Amino acid sequence: MEDELIINELVVGPLMSNCFVVGCEKTKEAVVIDPGGDADRILSSLKASGLTVKYIINTHGHFDHVSGNGPLKDATGAAILIHPLDAAMLPKLSSNAAFFGISVDNSPPSDQTIEEGDSVSFGEIHLKVLHTPGHTPGGISLYANGIVFVGDTLFSGSIGRTDFPGGDFNTLISSIRTKLFKMDDDVRVLSGHGPETSIGSEKRFNPFVGLF
């Protein structure tokens, strides 16, 4: 049931990325999805909800979603999880962010890689891992309890950029149509930027992949 999940959303970092603190209501064990900065605020959210972090999960390797990995891991000891195709991006955050005129520290390496079909378990919650490449080669989405966390794969009325290294428009559209759009229309979509949407809404109205 959805009420088993605690979901605290924070907008973090210089590019206003959505970070999600997701906890098991019963056990208070949690994961942090895409800590793109402002680790102190993420830690405060965890403390306020009485949550203990088991994993830091990166939906992809862009600096605006992972630059809080190091401080958060130092503070909590949580393991960093990312798809193997994006793992090599973590020690290169500084150079990638410099392209945007932004200074960030590199991330520690991943402790574990996760792929299509894997399940990330914390408390009584099990996040199903879907490989949804296109924005990056190793982009993933995470599904549980009628909610899917999609990183920068899909937005309300839009899609992730594909003009960065490793991006591919046709691959991204295929990921959305063959993975995300196979879900029920009422599945909530929590994206890496911007407001919440639903699978049904994006099928009907998204100008890039709608009218499905």
The pTM is what? 0.95
Please write down the long-range contacts of 41-50, taking CB distance under 8 Å and 24 or more positions apart. Answer: 41/10, 41/12, 42/10, 42/12, 42/68, 42/72, 43/72, 43/75, 43/76, 45/8, 45/10, 45/21, 46/21, 46/76, 49/6, 49/8, 49/21, 49/23
Nearest 5°: the CA angle 92, 97, 100 is 150
| Domains of the chain, each with CATH number or no CATH | 2-205 (3.60.15.10)
Would you give per-residue pLDDT tens digits along the chain (212 residues)? 445 899 999 999 999 999 999 999 999 999 999 999 999 999 999 999 999 999 999 999 999 999 999 999 999 999 999 999 999 999 988 888 877 888 888 899 999 999 999 999 999 999 999 999 999 999 999 999 999 999 999 999 999 999 988 999 999 999 999 999 999 999 999 999 999 999 999 999 999 996 65
